[in-house]
């Protein structure tokens, strides 16, 4: 049916000078959009893509549920003696791990998107240059929020009872999403730098696995050998987990929160800058 | 000379050790269609991408309405639109969504962007497909939404990179009509193509590009004249008399006459300094001579010079893409 109507549309169309002239005559340019408005428009594009391909949400729904269940029951008995008890410690960490891992899809998305002709058009528009990438990250922020929410809900069902209350949990999630937005610029850089989706995936794994596992997500660093402990304590994920855990447990640590915000700013400055250099060269 | 829309001097782009664009000089008068003709891999797309600010030149200069494509990229972007070789719209989105998205990026508020989108879709005969994802569009429809996206804001310069490659003849004619209407409204069009007849139909001047260099430049008439006026293809009734016909036409026309694969067919080149009329006269003389010699002609056709013939004449090599040794 679709094919038939398509054929008809092709065969009956004759370009009419009158209507095309009217279109051309009405083509004056409005004032160019602000950086913010252009970025938001690209964010809207990301939402439209989610609407048309909802399957892509599996990584922010199924994956986090799997992570939470797997690690809670795998380590719960052995590490803390009780699943519920371990969950109080683990949940903030598993939320950080899942969301930070999901950031790698940003790089894959940029890598596949940029190869398509539509990016050529975006890059010939007189708009704020980073808007296309910032907008894509806005879409990703929504995905991070979804993933964090899914984990929170699963956690609450399993018996997670945060002492920080609603405020503490919300602030923790905001902090996590802010850091993840900043962290994503690493992937936009690799997305532009590397030639294929697979190599982006490979590099992401190599960075993300040590970064998330060699941290305080699963166990306290006190039990680790000195060299590993040194790495774990320098690992930004450790600081992020400490800050998120503090907020959720009602014992916010201003030092850790500041550390996270400063490193987020540094990530955006460094990797955002590198990304834009690559974007302009591409 | 009228104002120049595009001006390049010694434009160069190198990829590794491949000089994709190797010193191109162009002067495109405003308000015309300028054809850039060449085979795959000649450097057409690379040149267009530099002019559209997508690639930074490695040497030389390019200006669009006086604005340097590197130093004043933003001013250039205000004036140009690009329709790439591959659909430069988002295939996952619908026609409306694409045009509203781009309309908003130009600076329209949402209601204005919606209105503009509806107007464009109607003018391009896409209203029925407005809410379908572009990936479900036919080749011709895809081209049209692409061009529609390029004139959301009427550009001063429109780059059309091989706009009809892969289209059926009807869709190709639609694109040609659209281009003519757009140019009549004052937009300058730079068109790249592999087809001489397309450049001939649309362009007022043509640059022929090969291996990153301009090897000929002029009006379509000048270009064709430099190649010869084309050829006449003749089908004889009797294969046995082909040798005789070949000899006769060779003598009468003083040009190359070659037997075709078909045993009753042959092709004779025509000469002609500057007009199709002269070629037609020669063709009718050739047919008259064959009739006078009692050789029956079942069928004949006049052939325009093809891009291949243009290339042979200009470069002594055919217009095929060479395998590049890595």
Q: Nearest-CA neighbor of A60 among A134, A132, A187, A154?
A: A154
B39 and B87 assigned to the same domain: yes
Q: Are residues B281 and B149 in the same domain?
A: no
Residue from A26, A2, A248 nearest A148 by CA: A248
pLDDT reading at A15 higher than 70: yes
Average pLDDT over residues B91-115: 95
Residues A250-272: tens digit of each pLDDT: 999 999 999 999 999 999 999 99
Radius of gyration, CA atoms only, chain A: 23
Distances (CA, A) of A201 to A187, B38, B126: 10, 39, 39
CA distance A277 to B49: 18
Looking at beta carbons, which residues of chain A come within 8 Å of B57? none
Give, rounded to a whole angstrom, the gap between the first and last alpha carbons of chain B. Answer: 45
Query: What's the rounded Cα separation, in Å, for the pair A257 and A235?
Result: 14
Same domain, B86 and B174: yes
Of B154, B148, B161, nearest to B83 by C-alpha is B161
Domain finish residue from B185, B204, B225:
B225
Q: What is the CATH number of the domain that holds B81?
A: 3.40.50.300
Cα–Cα distance for residue pair A232/A220, rounded to 1 Å:
10
Q: Which long-range contacts (CB under 8 A, 24 or more apart) does A118-122 make?
A: A118/B87, A118/B88, A118/B89, A118/B90, A118/B91, A120/B49, A120/B52, A120/B54, A120/B82, A120/B84, A120/B88, A121/B82, A121/B84, A121/B88, A121/B89, A121/B102, A121/B149, A122/B105
Closest CA to B87 of A120, A8, A173: A120
Residues of A in contact with B95 (CB under 8 A): none
Radius of gyration for the alpha carbons in chain B, expressed in angstroms and rounded: 23
Instruction: Specify if B252 maps to a domain.
Output: yes
Q: What is the mean pLDDT of residues A15-21?
A: 86
For A15, which of B56, B105, B178 is closest by C-beta distance?
Answer: B178
Asked if B128 and A5 come within 8 Å (Cβ–Cβ), the reply is yes
Q: Which two tokens stand for residue B71?
A: 């130093």
Tens digits of residue pLDDT in B5-24: 999 999 999 998 899 999 99
Largest CA distance in chain B: 76
Q: Is residue B107 part of a domain?
A: no
User: Is residue B146 very low, low, confident or very high in pLDDT (cuts 50, 70, 90)?
Assistant: very high
Model confidence at A2: pLDDT above 50 = no
Task: Indicate whether B193 and B180 sit together in one domain.
Answer: yes
Both tokens of residue A190? 């690799």
- Contact of B211 with chain A, judged by CB distance below 8 Å, is answered with no
Q: Which residues pair with B270 in a beta bridge?
A: B230
B26 and B163 both lie in a single domain: yes
The angle, 0 to 180 degrees and rounded to 10, between the axes of the packed helices A165-193 and A254-267 is 20
Best of B50, B85, B106 to substitute, by most chain A Cβ atoms within 10 angstroms, is B106
Q: How confident is the model at residue B326 (pLDDT cuts 50, 70, 90)?
A: very low
Select from A17, A41, A123 the Cβ nearest to the Cβ of B181. A17
Helix, coil or strand: residue B285: helix
What value of ipTM does the predicted structure carry?
A: 0.83
Say what the pLDDT of residue B321 is: 44
Asked if residue B143 is part of any domain, the answer here is yes
% of chain A residues with pLDDT over 90: 50
| Distance (Å, whole) CA B151 – CA B82 | 10
Q: Is there a contact between A99 and A148 (Cβ–Cβ < 8 Å)?
A: yes
* Contact check, Cβ <8 Å, B107/A9: no
| CA A138/CA A133 separation, integer angstroms | 9
Give the lowest-confidence range in A45-49, A85-89, A153-157, B67-71.
Answer: A85-89
In a domain, B111, yes or no: no
Please name which of A71, A136, A138 lies closest in space to residue A98, comparing C-alpha atoms: A71
CA dihedral B50, B54, B55, B61 (to 10 degrees): 40
Q: Are residues B221 and B234 in the same domain?
A: no
Candidates A4, A5, A6, A15, partner chain B, best to mutate (most B CBs within 10 A): A15
Residue A9 has pLDDT above 50, yes or no: no
Check if B114 contacts A (Cβ < 8 Å): no
Residue B324 placed within a domain: no
CB atoms within 10 A of CB A254: 9
B189 in reach of chain A (CB within 8 A) = no
Residues B277 and B142 in one domain: no
Q: Mean per-residue pLDDT for A45-58?
A: 90
* pLDDT confidence of residue A111: 83
Look at residue B324 and tell me whether its pLDDT is greater than 60. Answer: no
pLDDT in tens, A152-209: 999 999 999 999 999 999 999 999 999 999 999 999 999 988 888 888 889 998 999 8
Give the one of B82, B92, B129 whose C-beta lies nearest to A121's C-beta. Answer: B82
- Model confidence at B272, in pLDDT bands (50, 70, 90)? low
For the domain that residue B256 is a member of, what is the CATH number?
A: 3.30.70.790
| CB contact at 8 A, A135 and A38 | yes
CB A260 within 8 A of CB A182: no
B141 touches chain A (CB under 8 A): yes
B85 and B204 in a common domain: yes
* Average pLDDT, rounded, for chain A: 88
A54 touches chain B (CB under 8 A): no
Q: How far apart are CA A213 and CA A221, in angstroms?
A: 11
- The range of the structural domain enclosing residue B156 comes to 4-92+133-225
Nearest CA in chain A to B149: A121
Q: Which residue on chain B is closest to A53 by alpha carbon?
A: B92
The answer to whether the CB atoms of B104 and A33 lie below 8 A apart is yes
Higher pLDDT among residues B282 and B228, named by residue:
B282
Domain count, chain B: 2
Decide: B255 and B289 in contact? Cβ < 8 Å: no
For strand B4-15 and strand B59-64, is the pairing parallel, antiparallel, or unpaired? Answer: antiparallel
Which chain B residues are within 8 Å of A276, Cβ to Cβ? none
Per-residue pLDDT at B323 exceeds 60: no
Q: Are B271 and B254 in contact (CB under 8 A)?
A: yes
Say if residue B138 is in the same domain as residue B178. yes
| Confidence (pLDDT) at B273 | 56
Of A207-211, B135-139, B313-317, minimum mean pLDDT range = B313-317
Cα dihedral B96, B97, B103, B108 sign? positive
Measuring CA to CA, which residue among A143, A183, A142, A151 is closest to residue A169? Answer: A151
| Subunit contact A124:B129, Cβ cutoff 8 A | no
B199 and B234, same domain (yes or no) = no
B316 C-beta neighbours (distance < 10 Å), count? 7
Backbone angles phi, psi at B321, to 5 degrees: -70, 125
**Measured between CB atoms, does A44 come within 8 Å of chain B?**
yes
Answer yes or no: are the C-beta atoms of B208 and B217 closer than 8 Å. Answer: yes
Q: Are residues B157 and B169 in the same domain?
A: yes
B325 domain residue, yes or no = no
Task: Give the residue with greater pLDDT, A281 vs B325.
Answer: A281
Indicate if the pLDDT at residue A48 is higher than 90.
yes
Confidence band, pLDDT 50/70/90 cuts, at residue A22: confident
**Residue B253 counted as domain residue:** yes
Residue B31 Ramachandran class (φ > 0 left, ψ -120 to 50 alpha, else beta): left
B186: left (phi over 0), alpha (psi -120 to 50) or beta: left
Question: Whose CA is closest to B312, among B215, B183, B172, B192?
Answer: B215
CA B218 to each of CA B63, B77, B157, B205, B315: distance values in angstroms, whole numbers, following the listed order: 20, 28, 20, 5, 16
Kindly report the nearest CA distance between residue B15 and chain A, in angstroms.
12
Q: Which of A32, A53, A118 sits opposite B89 (nearest CB)?
A: A118
Residue with tokens 């439209």: A48
Domain match, B221 and B84 both: yes
């Amino acid at each position: 049916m679709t094919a038939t109507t398509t054929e008809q549309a092709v065969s009956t169309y004759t370009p009419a000078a009158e209507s095309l002239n009217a279109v051309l005559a009405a083509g004056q340019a409005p004032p160019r959009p602000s950086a913010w408005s252009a970025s938001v428009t690209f964010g809207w594009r990301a939402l439209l893509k989610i609407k048309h391909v909802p399957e892509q949400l599996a990584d922010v729904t199924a994956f986090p549920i799997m992570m939470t269940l797997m690690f809670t029951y795998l380590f719960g008995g052995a590490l803390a003696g009780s699943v519920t008890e371990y969950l109080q410690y683990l949940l903030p960490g598993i939320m950080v791990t899942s969301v930070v891992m999901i950031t790698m899809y940003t790089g894959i998305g940029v890598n596949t998107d940029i190869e398509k002709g539509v990016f050529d058009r975006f890059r010939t528009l007189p708009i704020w240059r980073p808007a296309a990438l910032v907008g894509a990250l806005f879409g990703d922020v929504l995905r991070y929020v979804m993933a964090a929410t899914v984990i929170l809900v699963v956690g609450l069902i399993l018996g997670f009872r945060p002492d920080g209350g609603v405020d503490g949990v919300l602030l923790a999630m905001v902090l996590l999403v802010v850091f993840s937005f900043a962290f994503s610029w690493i992937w936009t850089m690799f997305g532009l730098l590397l030639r294929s989706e697979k190599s982006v995936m490979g590099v992401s794994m190599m960075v993300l696995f040590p970064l998330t596992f060699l941290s305080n997500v699963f166990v306290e660093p006190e039990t680790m050998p000195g060299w590993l402990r040194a790495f774990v304590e320098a690992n930004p994920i450790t600081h992020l987990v400490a800050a998120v855990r503090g907020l959720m447990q009602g014992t916010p640590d201003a030092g850790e929160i500041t550390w996270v915000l400063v490193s987020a700013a540094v990530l955006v400055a460094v990797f955002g800058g590198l990304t834009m250099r690559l974007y302009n060269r591409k | 000379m009228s104002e120049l829309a595009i001006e390049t001097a010694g434009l160069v782009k190198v990829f590794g050790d491949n000089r994709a664009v190797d010193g191109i000089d162009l002067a495109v008068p405003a308000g015309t269609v300028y054809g850039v003709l060449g085979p795959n891999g000649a450097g057409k797309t690379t040149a267009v991408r530099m002019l559209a600010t997508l690639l930074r030149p490695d040497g030389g200069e390019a200006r669009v309405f006086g604005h340097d494509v590197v130093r004043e990229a933003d001013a250039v972007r205000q004036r140009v639109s690009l329709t790439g070789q591959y659909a430069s719209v988002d295939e996952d989105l619908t026609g409306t969504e694409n045009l509203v998205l781009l309309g908003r990026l130009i600076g329209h508020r949402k209601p204005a962007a919606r209105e503009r989108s509806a107007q464009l879709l109607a003018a391009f005969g896409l209203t029925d497909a407005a809410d379908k994802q572009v990936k479900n569009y036919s080749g011709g429809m895809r081209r049209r939404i692409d061009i529609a996206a390029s004139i959301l804001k009427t550009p001063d310069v429109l780059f059309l990179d091989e706009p009809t490659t892969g289209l059926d003849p009807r869709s190709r004619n639609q694109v040609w009509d659209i281009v003519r209407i757009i140019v009549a409204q004052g937009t300058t069009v730079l068109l790249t193509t592999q087809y001489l007849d397309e450049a001939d139909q649309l362009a007022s001047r043509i640059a022929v590009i090969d291996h990153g260099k301009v090897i000929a430049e002029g009006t379509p008439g000048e270009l064709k004249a430099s190649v010869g006026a084309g050829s006449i293809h003749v089908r004889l009734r009797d294969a046995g008399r082909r040798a005789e016909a070949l000899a006769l036409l060779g003598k009468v026309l003083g040009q190359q006459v070659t037997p075709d694969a078909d045993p009753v067919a042959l092709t004779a080149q025509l000469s002609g300094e500057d007009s199709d009329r002269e070629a037609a006269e020669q063709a009718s003389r050739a047919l008259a001579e064959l009739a006078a010699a009692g050789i029956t002609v079942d069928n004949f056709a006049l052939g325009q010079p093809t891009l291949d013939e243009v290339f042979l004449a200009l470069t002594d090599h055919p217009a095929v893409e060479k395998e590049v040794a890595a």
